[in-house]
Amino acid sequence: MKFYDFVDKAPSIGKLVIIEGTERVLAERALELVIDRALPPDMRDMNLERFPASQLDGTARVREAVQAMPFLASSRVVAITDAQTLKAAMRREVWAVAESVPEGNTLVLCDLLSPRSKRPEPFSALAGRSALRIDTSSNEDARARFIQETLQELGASADARVIDTLARSEADLASVRNDLQKLAIAGKKITYKDLEQESLSVEDPKAYQYAGALVEGRVDEALGIARELFSSDRSAAVPLIYALATECQMLWELARPGGEIPARVRWRERALRPIASRVGEARARRAYERAVAAFDSVVTGKVDDPELAVELLTAEVSTLTGRR
């Protein structure tokens, strides 16, 4: 069942739910919807357990949680997130647990693999019709709907051509959402010209050299690149901070368990993966949030000196991503 079919048709939640596909944004939303439909908010403290795959050293705790009786509720929900990162032996153990879920309880396996994956074999292929399968892979219609929903959440709107272009693009939905958030800052109505200008700023090689140097710890080099850009373009803060926000978003994604960055920027993984492992999810997220906040301040004219804003952001991000 495709993600939006699950949203619209609201099927019953049974013993086993498998969230598959490759769009993490939709997968996270699907998990929250499963929880919402299976457990009232006031019943979750004692009846909901989440197990990140990276923290599993066996399945004893998962099996115990799945087999436990609901506490003052009609059901319990147990979720394993980023199951696609599990090794083959652990996947077999998890599947053994999945085959013995008692009536009334629900095990959710977030196994973010394409349904056509061969290695590893998706849990959905093992389950067949015995599980509720939610496929988060997106086609053009799903992407267009996601874009419309995101615009509504942002209180913004966009030209039809903007929506069509983003829906047809190959960018993952997390990147699309990120771009819309930045575009919505400048104005509530996003035009195709806005989108074109944003794309041009993203492609500025020097801005990306600045961002890469900074995140990799070459702070003096990053500041030198920024000053060079400002010497020829007083509006250089926008592409510089945008590039840094994009770099920090990739760092944050790689710091998450099972995190993957889009194929078009996979060449950055070799440099960023060890940094993400050292920095950790919390600091990487903070760096990204600071970059987005700085972008907001520059675009909306809240800062009097954009060059100083870039220098201050550089110092803050270098502290967050540097060695300790």
Write down the pLDDT at residue 287.
Answer: 96
* pLDDT computed for residue 74 by the predictor: 87
Q: Give the residue-averaged pLDDT of 296-300.
A: 87
Orientation angle between helical segments 269-279 and 205-215, nearest 10 degrees? 40
CB 140 within 8 A of CB 23: no
Query: What CA–CA distance (Å, rounded) separates 265 from 66?
Result: 39
Contact at 8 Å (CB) between 216 and 248?
no
Mean pLDDT, the chain, rounded, equals 90
Q: Hunting for tokens 């983003």 — which residue is that?
A: 166
For β-strands 76-81 and 48-52, DSSP reports them as: parallel
- Provide mean pLDDT across the span 70-76: 89
* Model confidence band, residue 204 (pLDDT cutoffs 50, 70, 90): low
Dump pLDDT digits (tens) for 100-137.
999 999 999 999 998 888 888 999 999 989 999 999 99
28 pLDDT band, cuts 50/70/90, is: very high
Q: What is the largest CA-CA distance in the chain?
A: 68
Say yes or no to pLDDT of 234 above 90: no
> What is the secondary structure of 140-171 as a DSSP string?
HHHHHHHHHHHHHHHT-EE-HHHHHHHHHS-S
Neighbours of 319 (CB within 10 A): 13
pLDDT at 186: 66
264 close to 170: Cβ distance less than 8 angstroms: yes
- Span 54-59, average pLDDT: 91
Q: Please tell me what DSSP assigns to residue 134.
A: E
Cis, bond preceding 274 (omega within 30 deg of 0): no
Say if residues 269 and 254 touch (Cβ distance below 8 Å): yes
* Cα(299)–Cα(291) distance, integer angstroms: 12
**Does residue 110 contact residue 19 with C-beta atoms inside 8 Å?**
yes
Q: What pLDDT sits at residue 23? A: 92
Q: What is the rounded distance in angstroms from the CA atom of residue 35 to the CA atom of residue 44? A: 9
Q: 151 or 200: whose pLDDT is higher?
A: 151
- The vertex-174 CA angle with 168 and 180, nearest 5°, equals 70
Calpha distance 58→90 (Å, rounded):
7
pLDDT of res. 200:
42
Q: How far apart are the first and last CA of the chain?
A: 46
Task: To the nearest 10°, report the CA torsion of 306, 214, 241, 311.
Answer: -10
Q: Can you tell me whether residue 109 is helix, strand or coil?
A: strand
Question: Measured on CA atoms in the order 36, 39, 40, 41, is the torsion positive or negative?
Answer: negative
323 pLDDT higher than 80: no
Mean pLDDT check: name the lowest of 108-112, 223-227, 284-288, 295-299. Answer: 295-299
Query: What is the per-residue pLDDT for 201?
Result: 41
**Tokens encoding 133:** 């399968």
Q: How far apart, in whole angstroms, are the C-alpha atoms of residue 287 and residue 197?
A: 24
